[in-house]
Structure 1
Amino acid sequence: MTVSAVSAEENFADPLNRESRFYSNVVNVPIRDLTPFAAAPRTAEDADHVRALAESAIAPPPIVVHRATSQVVDGLHRLRAAQLRGEKTIAAVYFDGDVKEAYVLAVKLNATHGLPLTLADRKAAAREILSLYPEWSDRRIAGVAGLSPKTVAAIRRRSDGEFPRSTGRLASNGVLYRSNEQARRRAAELFEADPDASAREVALAAGVSVTTAKDVRKRLRDGEEPVSRKGSKPARGAAIGTAGRRADPAYVLDRMRRDPALRFTESGRAVLRWLEVPFGGADLRTVVDKIPSHCAPGLAEVARQRSRDWDQLAELLDHCT
């Protein structure tokens, strides 16, 4: 039974689990049909290890074969031992991913069991994975290659500019952690789109920590930029419009609709609703001409009351500091 391949973004925690979506059941494969993996992370075969396997009375685990190419992703020494014993078939499981996924799997398996990869091979493998998946985090690549995250970070720094630039780091849990500025701006967009969203929800969607998401939310509520600028101060004190002259009402209203200090408070959102331009900028005389005459006196009184309310609000706003 063959099972379809899955994304290489998933963990290879139990690579030989029969229930894994990466593998078929164990089958006997003709040895003559198999070839070494063209992109094998191991630079040299170990003849002594092959002889030890050939002389062992313990049945070895099945090898892993890339179905599309019939190449041995894991178990080349076991294959050589079987050839040395004169066997015609070997137990194997088929891997159904693409070549890049097969390479990552080969590194993971060869770094964690059997004859481990040398340090030089593991570093070379980490560098190759960086070229294939530059968005992967240092910790994730380290887990595959059997290195420390610091070692992978050093390899990334030395290779800076050689690999495609990534917009972030993809962790083993599937979360894409973006660069600090980009991630904070993405979190700000999410909060602006849904002011009631939880910090945890935004953190997961934006690829930031919950603490960072909370900080972005606080900055927005305080009228600050989501990304701090050294030497700069919040733009909260900057007035919309210019003192001593009238600003365009449509421009002012548009600016206020975008202001987080208004968007993220109940009172601010209420004011924004009140300030929406009445009649959508229509000609008032045309509107009045279509109002039934018996409704005019009542509407006129309501309009005057609203006018007094707005005059009072304007006077209070003039005295705000």
Structure 2
Amino acid sequence: MATVAEGTSQQPVVEVELSSLSLAGSPRLSGERPEHVQLLAAAQTPLPPITVHRATMKVIDGFHRLKAARLRGEDTIAVRFFDGDDAEAFVLSVKLNVTHGLPLALADRKRAAERIIASHPQWSDRRVASVTGISPGTVGDIRKRIVRGAEPEIRVGQDGRLRPIDGSAGRTLAGELLIENPGLSLRQVARAAGISPETARDVRNRLRNGEDLLPKRRKRKSAAAADAQAPGSNNLVVHKEFGGPGPARASGRPRGEPAPDRAALVKRLKADPALRFTETGRNLLRLLALHTLRKEEWDAIISNVPPHCSDIVADLARQFADLWSEFAVRVKEDMAQIG
């Protein structure tokens, strides 16, 4: 989708008569905001080019600018044309109106997700979410509500790759890969198992916590297939990094026991002179302290990430998670060599 938007931005700018353009199909349920139109009309600078679907002459991006041009009494406006079909034009309209200018309201984005799910049923929840600026979970809830009948068995991910909806086999393979090679990056595991990096991360976390690789919902769906396999083959919970054969343990903690308070652990580390009185130790403590926020504080941060920043923030979070994962592996390896 980003490629389509970038390609459209490279189209030549032409002057088009206002009377030939249509405002039908706006993703804004309540229409454009009059105060924003007046603000644009009062500005002395030329209006930036709008994006128009060539086949229908419908405005894709620039509804406020078009109305501002009419308010100014102008006869023409600068236009870049888009040559895809109606469904692609709507997707582009939503994408552009989420990421810049006056952002779409949450209700607009949810309604847009409904329409995109209907026109692109093969798209994954994450791909729809990346266009509409809402969470993949919300997209999944919308899909359950509006989709009737059988769904495609394979969906197109945000990266354009085809992946099965039931990723049980991919999760199992990812678990086996991580057991054999704990140092593999998430991208390497995802590529080899045919799953997304995010799913690979979930598999790795489940291994560390001694949990089943398959979420309960997915496990129920694949129960029949699991019965035909060797006992335990769908429930890999062993990781060399966390104690070898037998039930996996996270940091030596028995399954079911609550995780120790992170803030308390960091506070204990801060009292260690080996960390307090070295520059690298203080840097490490500062980094660890950043992650001691309570769940409620994390939830507040997540719910207040601006929609137009969500892709960048999510990508950075994944990159930082990969760095921490590599850090953990290397710390373990260094300790093993010392021992």
Q: TM-score range by the shorter chain?
A: 0.5 to 0.7
Would the aligned equivalents of 1:170 and 1:176 in 2 still touch at CA under 8 Å? yes
**Is 1:80 aligned to residue 59 of structure 2?**
no
Counterparts of residues 132-143 of structure 1 (less than 5 Å): 132-143=119-130
Question: Which of 75, 80, 91 does residue 93 from structure 1 map onto?
Answer: 80
User: What is the aligned partner in structure 2 of residue 239 from structure 1?
Assistant: none
* Counterpart residue type for residue 47 of structure 1: P
> Offset of 1:39 from its aligned partner?
2.4
Would the aligned equivalents of 1:63 and 1:91 in 2 still touch at CA under 8 Å? yes
* Counterpart residue type for residue 165 of structure 1: E
Q: What does the per-residue CA deviation read over 1:232-260, in whole Å, with 9 as the maximum and x for residues that have no partner?
A: 4549xxxxxxxxxxxxxxxxxxxxxxxxx
Higher helix share: 2
Distance change in 2, residues 1:49/1:40 (3 Å) = same
User: What is the aligned partner in structure 1 of residue 250 from structure 2?
Assistant: none
Counterparts of residues 220-231 of structure 1 (less than 5 Å): 229-231=225-227
User: What is the aligned partner in structure 2 of residue 253 from structure 1?
Assistant: none
> Offset of 1:230 from its aligned partner?
3.8
* Counterpart residue type for residue 14 of structure 2: V
**Is 1:125 aligned to residue 112 of structure 2?**
yes
> Offset of 1:64 from its aligned partner?
0.4
Gaps of 5+ in 2: 174-186, 204-221, 232-339
Report the Cα distance in structure 2 between the residues aligned to 1:101 and 1:205, rounded to whole angstroms. Answer: 31
User: What is the aligned partner in structure 1 of residue 26 from structure 2?
Assistant: 40
Distance change in 2, residues 1:206/1:161 (3 Å) = farther
Q: What does the per-residue CA deviation read over 1:107-128, in whole Å, with 9 as the maximum and x for residues that have no partner?
A: 1111121121111111000011
* Counterpart residue type for residue 176 of structure 1: L
* Counterpart residue type for residue 162 of structure 2: L
User: What is the aligned partner in structure 2 of residue 108 from structure 1?
Assistant: 95
Q: How many residues are paired up?
A: 192
* Counterpart residue type for residue 156 of structure 2: L
Counterparts of residues 204-215 of structure 1 (less than 5 Å): 207-208=194-195
User: When the two structures are superposed, what TM-score results if normalisation uses the length of structure 1?
Assistant: 0.53
User: What is the aligned partner in structure 2 of residue 148 from structure 1?
Assistant: 135
Report the Cα distance in structure 2 between the residues aligned to 1:87 and 1:205, rounded to whole angstroms. Answer: 57
Distance change in 2, residues 1:75/1:101 (3 Å) = same
Q: Aligned-residue CA RMSD in angstroms?
A: 3.1
Question: Which of 148, 163, 167 does residue 177 from structure 1 map onto?
Answer: 163
> Offset of 1:60 from its aligned partner?
2.8
User: What is the aligned partner in structure 1 of residue 57 from structure 2?
Assistant: 70
> Offset of 1:183 from its aligned partner?
6.7
Report the Cα distance in structure 2 between the residues aligned to 1:114 and 1:161, rounded to whole angstroms. Answer: 35
Distance change in 2, residues 1:79/1:234 (3 Å) = same
**What SS does the aligned partner of 2:2 have?**
coil
* Counterpart residue type for residue 73 of structure 1: I
Q: Share of identical aligned residues, percent?
A: 46
**Is 1:157 aligned to residue 147 of structure 2?**
no
* Counterpart residue type for residue 161 of structure 2: V
User: Which of structures 1 and 2 has the bigger CA Rg?
Assistant: 1
User: When the two structures are superposed, what TM-score results if normalisation uses the length of structure 2?
Assistant: 0.50
> Offset of 1:159 from its aligned partner?
2.2
Distance change in 2, residues 1:183/1:42 (3 Å) = farther
Report the Cα distance in structure 2 between the residues aligned to 1:183 and 1:96, rounded to whole angstroms. Answer: 40
Would the aligned equivalents of 1:23 and 1:94 in 2 still touch at CA under 8 Å? no
